[in-house]
């Protein structure tokens, strides 16, 4: 059994999130070993044996990979270039510190997925600057307008819009991303061969083939049906795959608030858009702001300011708002890391710079392009240099 | 010259707020002495001499009192029963501590008025439970609906609505108070013989004679015209005469935000109602919430919870949110003070209870009536006792 088949087998017989499987991976076991151990009921597999008791004989790995291929999808795992390792490390590393009180009953689910089924563009580069936009399914006219406004303001700075593909705010956010020409990622709660909800099937197809970049992602193998517990674990991926989560319109008890709690629990920025107090549709947003659990944001500028202050992705796993006193000279932590890695004079090639700054090349390039636009650095072929002021 | 004439003279020749005049009053000088000193240019009057250089000969005290009488108004000052001494002591006492950074350029104005012209009901009893509702003059349909909703929710608990009598949010708030049967106070920026703005003249008349209690208040003697600086000093009185200020709809630069800053500077509760982010009319509210300078409130319940947590009027001048963990058993600080002052069994007359609790009788009665309604205490003639549970 090769590695890909092993991941496919594990994806089916171990429903994520699985703490025992993550523990084996962290201990250095590879997918083939673990798959073999699970299938042969080896004692060293430990608690994962019990978790796979019912499903371990259900080996459909080859068929699942064929189904995925037919859908234009693929299975990815740690070690693959497009695996969002930094995102998962920072999010679940933060959760593991136990700093946040906001996971409570879901704390046991706060581990990375072991594999992801992806349809569309390479995942990791899409996420270098990404924000989750979620909210009620029972969208009002105001909620639609507010979602479109927020997305279009983020699109102008090429932020990727991550959401859950549901009707309501999710679908409006995905569509607005397509219309305004920025990338978008759907995190599904079922197999990629299922379109849920049905009315968004065409939207998902458009996103997967979006020229500006788009992807549909799922933790579940083909054929998996959407179920309540899967929406909740899916929400953790929406929060983990973005630098911050924004709730637009959520009534008192809205599933979108669960995603917002995940953002808190994973050390992401938690944000909410206010709305009319004369409607009940923004009650959940207002409550989170009032309780100090979400930052009030009125649009793309507020959101970018918060995310840039935090630093897009922080490999240290630290979570700290670094508001600079002088807004003119403000560089986010990641921007500063790149700027400081450049020599005071002379140029440095992109790869060397990314290594020196301790970042992935895609993230580094994204930030460099922005710094270049703002006149802080200058491109010289495949290298970069500081701009003298 | 009797005391009333002396106050009328000082009201005209010293335009409030006057720190030198407050200093003389604090030093124990009475109005007659100070008026005499100002008129005769006595050296002991100190810095007040310079402040009254232009106007000290302008003695229209008798005419001003006659004009007021014709308007059904009166002049009040410290020592009068209806003078809101507790409100002014706590507000300007707080400002004097220098704790708040939010007065800045207006710090020099952070002193009590020396006299007030009042038309309508006795002032102090109206203010035992009062909240200021202010906002933009350029009101939207949403702003009108939100103002009416907030006021009607406060009216059901008999909170007095304080505002500035301007068009827009102010007028809607005053009118909603009349309609929903609670008391309301207008703080004017001109003499009571002037109606500003003109279109609200009839509203002011209705308020002054409102059966549920209402008053028009001004720091300025008859004939004084509304001018820009008077709106700003008037705003301090709106904030001082209420336990908290709520801004409903305020664009980026709205005068209502000045009142909100006064509330902060005077140790009052500073609150803002959110609104649609798709309009510019709530930008000022959102900014204050985002910057942590105002609490987000969605209606009367939020407002009451904040004000009751602070304690309606706190003679200690302390400003502390005391959120009780158990909402069922929550009593505000002032409620607890009264409850604790009652003997475990047996009754206590109102006056003795107010003295024991360290409160004015009107405030004490207001709270007792509410505690009675909630079944915490019981009235026995002119006395009160705890209800056994």
What tens digit of pLDDT does each residue of B204-218 get? 999 999 999 999 999
pLDDT of A327 above 70 = no
Residue B93, pLDDT score: 87
Chain B residue closest in CA terms to A145: B278
Contact check, Cβ <8 Å, A276/B278: no
pLDDT of B312 above 60 = no
Contact check, Cβ <8 Å, A274/B289: yes
User: What mean pLDDT comes out for the span A127-150?
Assistant: 97
Q: Does A282 touch chain B (CB under 8 A)?
A: yes
pLDDT of A111 above 80 = yes
Residue A318, pLDDT score: 33
Indicate the pLDDT class of residue B375, thresholds 50, 70 and 90.
Answer: confident
Q: Topology of domain A119-310, per CATH?
A: Rossmann fold (3.40.50)
pLDDT of A24 above 80 = yes
Residue A97, pLDDT score: 74
Contact check, Cβ <8 Å, B289/A289: yes
Contact check, Cβ <8 Å, A275/B275: yes
Residue B65, pLDDT score: 98
User: What mean pLDDT comes out for the span B82-88?
Assistant: 95
Residue B311, pLDDT score: 59
| Residues of A in Cβ contact (< 8 Å) with B274 | 274-275, 277, 282, 286, 289, 296
Q: Which residues of chain A does CATH 1.10.10.10 include?
A: 333-386
Nearest to A293 by CA among A245, A261, A255: A261
Least confident of A105-114, A363-372, B48-57: A363-372
CA of A269 to nearest chain B CA: how many angstroms apart? 14
Under 8 Å between Cβ of B294 and B248: no
Per-residue model confidence as pLDDT tens digits over B11-45: 999 999 999 999 999 999 999 999 999 999 999 99
Q: Does B151 touch chain A (CB under 8 A)?
A: no
Q: Does B296 touch chain A (CB under 8 A)?
A: yes
Q: How many helices (H) and strands (E) does chain A have?
A: 17, 12
User: What mean pLDDT comes out for the span B163-174?
Assistant: 97
Per-residue model confidence as pLDDT tens digits over B236-294: 999 999 999 999 999 988 889 999 999 998 989 999 999 999 999 999 999 999 888 89
**What is the average pLDDT value for chain B, to the nearest integer?**
89
Q: Which residues of chain B does CATH 3.40.50.450 include?
A: 119-310
Per-residue model confidence as pLDDT tens digits over B110-123: 999 999 999 999 99
Least confident of B54-63, B284-293, B367-376: B367-376
Indicate the pLDDT class of residue B104, thresholds 50, 70 and 90.
Answer: low
Under 8 Å between Cβ of A191 and A117: yes
| Interface contacts (A, B; CB < 8 Å) | 63
Q: How many CA atoms lie within 13 A of A122 on its CB side?
A: 8
Architecture per CATH, B333-386: Orthogonal Bundle (1.10)
pLDDT of B320 above 50 = no
3-state secondary structure (DSSP) of residue B334 = helix
| Residues of A in Cβ contact (< 8 Å) with B145 | 278
Q: Does A142 touch chain B (CB under 8 A)?
A: yes
| Residues of B in Cβ contact (< 8 Å) with A251 | none
Share above pLDDT 90 across residues of chain B, in percent, rounded to a whole number:
68
Strands of B184-188's sheet, edge to edge? B73-77, B115-120, B214-218, B184-188, B160-163, B130-135, B244-248, B269-273, B295-296
Per-residue model confidence as pLDDT tens digits over A225-265: 998 889 999 999 999 999 999 999 999 888 899 999 999 98
Spatial CB neighbours of A106, under 8 Å, sequence gap ≥ 6: A232, A236, A261, A262, A265
Residue A333, pLDDT score: 67
Q: Beta-carbon neighbour count of residue B51 at 10 Å?
A: 19
Nearest to B276 among A150, A276, A295 (CB): A276
Reported ipTM: the value is: 0.74
**What is the average pLDDT value for chain A, to the nearest integer?**
89
Query: What residue ranges in A159-207 does DSSP mark as E strands?
Result: 160-163, 184-188
The residues that bridge with B119 in the sheet, in sequence order, are: B73, B216
Backbone angles phi, psi at B278, to 5 degrees: -85, 0
Q: Does A286 touch chain B (CB under 8 A)?
A: yes
Residue B105, pLDDT score: 65
Q: Does B272 touch chain A (CB under 8 A)?
A: no
pLDDT of B137 above 60 = yes
Residue B149, pLDDT score: 97
β-pairing verdict for B383-386 and B377-380: antiparallel
Indicate the pLDDT class of residue B333, thresholds 50, 70 and 90.
Answer: low
Nearest to B206 by CA among B189, B183, B227, B224: B183
Greater confidence (A167 vs B228) lies with: A167
Share above pLDDT 70 across residues of chain B, in percent, rounded to a whole number:
91
């Amino acid at each position: 059994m090769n590695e890909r088949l092993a991941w496919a087998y594990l994806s089916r017989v171990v429903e994520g999130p699985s703490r025992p499987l993550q523990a084996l991976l962290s201990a250095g076991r590879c997918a083939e070993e673990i798959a073999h151990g699970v299938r042969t009921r080896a004692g060293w597999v430990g608690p994962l044996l019990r978790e796979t008791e019912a499903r371990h004989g259900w080996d459909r790995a080859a068929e699942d990979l064929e189904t995925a291929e037919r859908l234009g999808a693929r299975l990815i795992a740690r070690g693959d270039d497009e695996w969002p390792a930094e995102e998962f490390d920072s999010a679940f590393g933060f959760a593991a510190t136990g700093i946040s009180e906001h996971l409570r009953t879901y704390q046991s689910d706060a581990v990375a997925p072991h594999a992801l089924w992806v349809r569309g563009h390479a995942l990791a580069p899409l996420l270098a600057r990404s924000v989750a936009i979620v909210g009620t399914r029972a969208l009002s006219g105001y909620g639609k307008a507010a979602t479109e406004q927020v997305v279009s303001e983020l699109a102008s700075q090429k932020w990727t819009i991550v959401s859950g593909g549901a009707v309501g705010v999710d679908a409006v956010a995905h569509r607005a991303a397509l219309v305004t020409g920025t990338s978008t990622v759907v995190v599904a709660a079922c197999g990629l061969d299922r379109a849920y909800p049905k009315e968004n099937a065409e939207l998902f197809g458009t996103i997967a083939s979006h020229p500006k970049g788009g992807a549909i992602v799922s933790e579940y193998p083909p054929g998996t049906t959407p179920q309540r517990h899967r929406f909740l674990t899916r929400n953790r991926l929406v929060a983990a795959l973005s630098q911050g989560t924004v709730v637009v319109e959520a009534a008192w008890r809205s599933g979108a608030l669960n995603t917002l709690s995940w953002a808190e629990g994973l050390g992401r920025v938690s944000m909410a858009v206010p709305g009319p107090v004369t409607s009940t549709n923004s009650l959940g947003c207002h409550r989170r702001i009032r309780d100090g659990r979400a930052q009030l944001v009125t649009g793309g500028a507020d959101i970018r300011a918060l995310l840039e202050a935090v630093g897009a992705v922080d490999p240290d796993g630290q979570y700290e708002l670094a508001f600079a006193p002088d807004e003119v000279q403000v560089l986010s932590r990641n921007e500063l890391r790149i700027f400081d890695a450049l020599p005071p004079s002379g140029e440095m090639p992109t790869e060397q710079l990314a290594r020196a700054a301790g970042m992935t090349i895609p993230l580094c390039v994204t930030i460099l392009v922005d710094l270049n636009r703002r006149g802080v650095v200058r491109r010289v072929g495949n290298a970069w240099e500081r701009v003298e002021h």
